[in-house]
């Protein structure tokens, strides 16, 4: 799984390097917009990861399997 993320990172960096050679001003604007977007979304991501961590700590896997697993009855 880490290798997939690393491949994406390398591809994105290569694309930005290529685009920077073509149009440095537009590439800077794109990076600034991406950073602004990340700053806006970051608190939500932190909250979601915290809630998922609490959920994993307090809800046993057997209970999740019983409610949402193959034997739960919906499918």
Measured CA to CA, the distance from residue 66 to residue 72 in angstroms comes to 6
Q: For residue range 14-73, list pLDDT tens digits in order.
A: 999 999 999 999 999 999 999 999 999 999 999 999 999 999 899 988 888 888 877 766
- The conformation of residue 42, written as its DSSP 8-state character, comes to H
Q: How far is CA 59 from the centre of its chain?
A: 23
pTM, full prediction: 0.64
- For residue 49, give both structure tokens: 């990861």
The predicted pLDDT at position 64 comes to 83
Q: How far is CA 27 from the centre of its chain?
A: 22
Q: Are 19 and 26 in contact (CB under 8 A)?
A: yes
Domain ranges of the chain: 2-72
Residue 75 clears pLDDT 60, i.e. is over it: no
Overall residue count recorded for the chain in this entry: 75
The predicted pLDDT at position 61 comes to 85
């Amino acid at each position: 799984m880490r290798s997939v993320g690393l491949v994406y990172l390398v591809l994105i960096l290569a694309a930005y390097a290529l685009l920077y050679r073509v149009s440095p001003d537009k590439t800077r604007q794109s990076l600034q917009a991406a950073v602004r977007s990340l700053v806006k979304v970051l608190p939500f991501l932190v909250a979601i990861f915290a809630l998922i961590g609490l959920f994993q700590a307090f809800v046993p896997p057997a209970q999740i399997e019983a409610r949402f697993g193959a034997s739960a009855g919906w499918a």
